[in-house]
Amino acid sequence: MKRKTLLDAALGLCTVGGAVFAVGAAKDPVSKVVVLPDAAFGILMVLGGLFATVGAIAFMMSFLIDRIELAVSQVIYGDLDSKYLCTHARSSDLAGLHTLYTRYFGADVPDIQLMGKWIVKCSSAFTIVQRVIEDSGLPTRQELVGSFKLLPLTAQGVRAIEMGQATGSNFRPEHISGGRSSPAGCYVGDVVATTRFARGVVMAQLNAAVLPAVRGAVAVYARPLTKDGLRVMTKHGFVQVSDGKSAPVVGRVCKLQMERRNEVVVGRIVRRHRLTPISEKQDA
């Protein structure tokens, strides 16, 4: 709510309240024009006083609205007014990204050298979300607050993960599909966010990236590392890679079988679960 809107409302309430109170207080003059029961004048005075009081409170709040909105946004959203940049990670981003992954996933993350080889094959392998830090309205630096990886897999990469020879942290470069070739599968992992609001930004970007990435793919692979991630993958219909039918289990690579014949099926999955709160610690 803008300060001017609140100020206008305050002035309106005070004006209406004052007028209603005045009518209630002017019992004798009004009775000469309109016959009303005595109780009506008392009610008008009470209502007028109430409107005027609310208007006075709104008037005072109009000078504090900016601070109130900032406090509420920080508590609920964790930086509603901040600006966010969503880009694909470059080589210069990998050190900071690796640090973020290590903080959330421990040692089960790809090393920086391997991450660099992945982005050589697929420049969109990692999406990063950065919050712009401003000083006096001018951007001064960018803080990494979220990321996910979406790897298009070659047929060799799919075979490796189906046979248990590869995980989301050790795909070899030849497992990553590059250029304009259609992927044989896709791997989603390293979904991480440092705040609730950043998580919403990450999920919006992930939802937007998944649909075009999985078109033509046979399956989407992922691995839950938390109960929250497990819940979401179970809801999506993932099954364990090991037997193709068992429900997801924490730490086990799972897949969601796609249908080539109808891309609309993919769209339904994305739309149905748009902004679903996938675990901040879903695979690496």
- Give the pLDDT confidence of 209-250 residue by residue, as tens digits: 887 766 666 789 998 877 777 888 898 889 999 988 899 998
Burial 29-46 (b: 16+ CB within 10 A, else e): ebeeeeeeeeeebeebbe
Q: Which residues pair with 147 in a beta bridge?
A: 128, 192
pLDDT tens digits, 254-264: 998 876 443 43
Compute the radius of gyration of the chain from its Cα atoms. Answer: 29
First to last CA, the chain: 41
Three-state SS string across the chain, please? Answer: CCHHHHHHHHHHHHHHHHHHHHHHHCHHHHHCCCCCCHHHHHHHHHHHHHHHHHHHHHHHHCCCHHHHHHHHHHHHCCCCCCEEEEEECCHHHHHHHHHHHHHHHCCCCCCHHHHHHHHHHCCCCEEEEEEEEEECCEEEEEEEEEEEEEEEECHHHHHHHHCCCCCCCCCCHHHECCCCCCCCEEEEEEEEECCHHHHHHHHHHHHHHHHHHHCCCCEEEECCCCHHHHHHHHHHCCEECCCCCCCCCCCCCEEEECCCCCHHHHHHHHHHCCCCCCCCCECC
Q: What is the pLDDT of residue 265?
A: 38
Better-predicted residue by pLDDT, 27 or 148: 148
pLDDT at 65 over 60: yes
Q: What is the pLDDT of residue 277?
A: 37
Banded pLDDT at 10 (limits 50, 70, 90): confident
pTM of the model: 0.63
The fold of the 80-272 domain, in CATH, is Aminopeptidase (3.40.630)
pLDDT tens digits, 262-273: 343 344 444 443
Banded pLDDT at 1 (limits 50, 70, 90): very low
Pick the closest to residue 284 from 221, 241, 242, 236 (CA basis).
Answer: 221
pLDDT, the chain, mean:
79
Better-predicted residue by pLDDT, 267 or 283: 283
Give the mean pLDDT of 193-197. 84
